[in-house]
């Protein structure tokens, strides 16, 4: 996966999270939890895409094609 593809996916994910946080009413605790979960998943995915880390505890996040 090339760097522009990774950046594009991160921009799209950020835009989706902004839309969800702005237009979907949620309790603050749920919104914070959602943001943390999405951040951690994206961080692990980026680190795996760049080859910095391997599979995490036997869980492989599939590459996007």
Residue 9 lies in a domain: yes
Are 65 and 52 within 8 A, CB to CB?
A: no
The count of domains in the chain is: 1
Residue 31 lies in a domain: yes
Six-digit token pair at 27?
A: 């309790």
Q: What is the pLDDT of residues 7-33, one digit of tens each?
A: 999 999 999 999 999 999 999 999 999
Q: What is the pLDDT of residues 43-59, one digit of tens each?
A: 988 988 888 887 666 66
* Residue 3 to residue 16: CA distance in whole angstroms: 20
Residue 25 lies in a domain: yes
Q: Domain of 15?
A: 3-49
Return the percent helix, strand and coil in the chain, to nearest 5. Answer: 65, 5, 30
The model's pTM: 0.77
Are 4 and 22 within 8 A, CB to CB?
A: no
């Amino acid at each position: 996966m090339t760097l522009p593809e990774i950046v594009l996916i991160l921009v799209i994910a950020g835009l989706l999270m902004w839309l969800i946080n702005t237009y979907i009413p949620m309790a603050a605790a749920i919104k914070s939890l959602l943001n943390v979960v999405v951040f951690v998943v994206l961080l692990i995915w980026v680190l795996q895409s760049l080859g910095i880390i391997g599979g995490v505890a036997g869980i492989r996040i599939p590459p996007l094609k």
